[in-house]
Amino acid sequence: TLGTQTDYRDGEAQTDPYSPEYVVPGSIPELLTLATLAWGRGLPAGLAEVEMIERAREKRAWEATLPAMDSASNIAKRRKMMDDMERKEWAFREQEIEKLQEARLELLKELLRRQEENQNKLHAKCLDDQWQNHQKAKEEKIKKIQHDCALMLRKLIAKRKNVMGKLERRDIIKEYTDFASQTYAPLSRNGYFPDNHSECYVVKNCYLDTFAGLCELEASLPDYITQVKVKAPKSKYATTETGFVKRSARLEVTLAQVHQALLEKKKVKEPKKPFHFLEKVEKPILRPPTPTLENPSIEEEETELAVICLQKLLRGRAIQNMMFEEKEKRLELIRELRTTQALQEDGQLLLEAEAQVTLALQRQQKLQMDKLSSVENHLAREEGRALANMFDFLSKELVRLQEERKIHAFVMLAERERRMREAEESGRRQAEERRRQEEDEVFRQAREGHWWGLHQRTIDSYLEDIILSSIERAAEEQAREEVQRRAAEINDIAYEMESRRTRLQSEEIVAELVYDFLIPEAEKMSIREKVRQSQRKHIYAAHRIIHRGTE
């Protein structure tokens, strides 16, 4: 019986649609597969939700077409179909990921574009501010130049008036006839300031300068000017002694105003004045005659009761026929309800038999699933064993390669040290040879005779060849022994490190290799990109300034 009106729309006060609890007898309808969707999370459904529903329908249809697991061929066929479906799902998932990545990439591009636009706007604003500052400085310089120009022009005009430098007498008549002369409008640059003698324009009055004059002026004014009486306005509301207006009084005044406004709107017409001599005589209203009821006879009452009973029988039969027709129309629904609720014993027995058959099928399916899971477990074990052997072989190969690189490094170091020692030994040998040559030359010069000198040179060359060959052979053997000894020591050290090294140390070695080869290159690339980005804005600003200047 009451109505309300709000300031809000239905959409602003709309809540999530109500979903009551339900119990599904028998098969699950397709609509309940969408129970995960809610208002704001998939509802109202869009294109993505429609595609999801179509994929779910296709998957249910595909599940219905899967062969039973009752033979090896069916199991192989089922596994092949499941593998194909899994590949399709993975491909669809990859497409979704690619779409998501493309959307993120587009968003990132948009953000970068906005950032670049904001940066360009900021640079443009900075350049505009600088341009405004330069323009202001330019205008100030131009104003100063124009002012100096006007000053110099005035000086030149004044000098040009008296080029010959003759003295002229003052022409008083001309000055007083020219209203633009110094007599009427003197210039301040000539030493005249109009505000110096401003007191001469002040109005002097005895009534304003002296106290007696002020008293006389006040006495001459009427009383209503000097003695102002202000009457306080009467309040519309009934106030208390302290001047507070009660709520009841304010409400009474408001109601009186509303009542007055309603009366003005109604515009009640004044009733017509009655006649002085004529009076209307009202006639009394005639009452209708009182109805009378005759007492019916006993036969009529019995006949009426029989007719009423016959009517009840006919109406009951008609309702019964209508119910029978409706029951025939909805016989399938009644049978479904009877089988669902198990109201009859036959239905209960059928349901129990179906339940037994279902349990037997479930047991058989469970056994088949157990067999399939055991086969899969064996296959997974074999796959794990093969993968473990492969990973073991790869790790050993990695260790072998690392050790081979270490040994190669040690060999290179040994070779370098050998060459350094050979260089030192060759230097010492050359010094000894030089000293021996000097001694031989001294000995040769000391000896006399050509024959002795010839034999001496022959002996020296022979001995020199023998000594050089023996030294080279000895050095080669010594170097070979040194390399073998160092290689044995390096092998012992490498085997000992291999026996003590853990998996963490191996990962550290790999991490060091990655850190030494990959990370420095990535850092160099990032530094180059930062330098390029930092230089780009300066180049862009310089280009804009140059292009603006050329325009």
Q: Is 171 left (phi over 0), alpha (psi -120 to 50) or beta?
A: beta
SS3 of 82-101: the string is: HHHHHHHHHHHHHHHHHHHH
Nearest to 507 by CA among 369, 345, 399: 399
From residue 322, give the alpha-carbon distance in Å to each of 207, 308, 314, 318, 327. 120, 21, 12, 6, 9
- Do the beta carbons of residue 37 and residue 43 sit within 8 Å? yes
SS3 of 476-526: the string is: HHHHHHHHHHHHHHHHHHHHHHHHHCCHHHHHHHHHHHHHHHCHHHHHHHH
What is the reported pLDDT for 108?
A: 93
The set of residues, in sequence order, having a beta carbon less than 8 Å from that of 67 and lying 6+ positions away, is: 74, 77, 78, 81
What is the reported pLDDT for 14?
A: 57
The set of residues, in sequence order, having a beta carbon less than 8 Å from that of 175 and lying 6+ positions away, is: 181, 182, 183
Nearest-angstrom CA–CA distance, 266 and 318: 61
Instruction: Map out the domains of the chain as residue ranges.
Output: 30-140, 300-441, 451-500, 504-550
Tokens of 204: 């002097």
Q: Which residues pair with 239 in a beta bridge?
A: 245
Classify 532 as helix, strand or coil. Answer: helix
From residue 219, give the alpha-carbon distance in Å to each of 211, 214, 226. 12, 9, 9
From residue 67, give the alpha-carbon distance in Å to each of 74, 76, 359, 468. 6, 10, 20, 91
What is the reported pLDDT for 63?
A: 84
What is the reported pLDDT for 489?
A: 82
Query: What is the chain's length?
Result: 551
What is the reported pLDDT for 123?
A: 92
Q: Which residues pair with 41 in a beta bridge?
A: 38
What is the reported pLDDT for 104?
A: 92
Please tell me the number of Cα atoms within 13 Å of 21 on its side-chain side: 0
Nearest-angstrom CA–CA distance, 293 and 41: 75
Q: What is the pLDDT along the chain (551 residues), one digit of tens a residue?
A: 566 666 666 665 556 666 677 777 766 777 777 777 777 777 777 888 888 888 888 888 888 888 888 888 888 888 888 888 889 889 988 998 999 999 999 999 999 999 999 999 999 999 999 999 999 999 999 999 999 999 999 888 888 877 777 777 788 888 888 888 888 888 777 777 767 777 777 777 777 778 888 888 888 888 777 777 777 777 666 677 776 777 788 888 888 888 888 888 876 555 566 555 566 777 777 777 777 777 778 888 888 888 999 999 999 899 988 888 888 888 887 777 776 665 556 666 777 888 888 888 888 888 888 888 888 888 888 888 888 888 888 888 888 888 888 888 888 888 888 888 888 888 888 888 888 888 887 777 766 554 555 566 777 777 888 888 888 888 888 888 888 888 788 777 777 777 777 777 777 776 676 666 666 777 778 888 888 787 777 777 777 777 776 66
| Locus of tokens 């990535």 | 522
What is the reported pLDDT for 456?
A: 67
Nearest-angstrom CA–CA distance, 264 and 266: 6
DSSP string, 368-418: HHHHHHHHHHHHHHHHHHHHHHHHHHHHHHHHHHHHHHHHHHHHHHHHHHH
- Do the beta carbons of residue 540 and residue 123 sit within 8 Å? yes
Containing 43, the helix (H) or strand (E) segment is strand 42-43
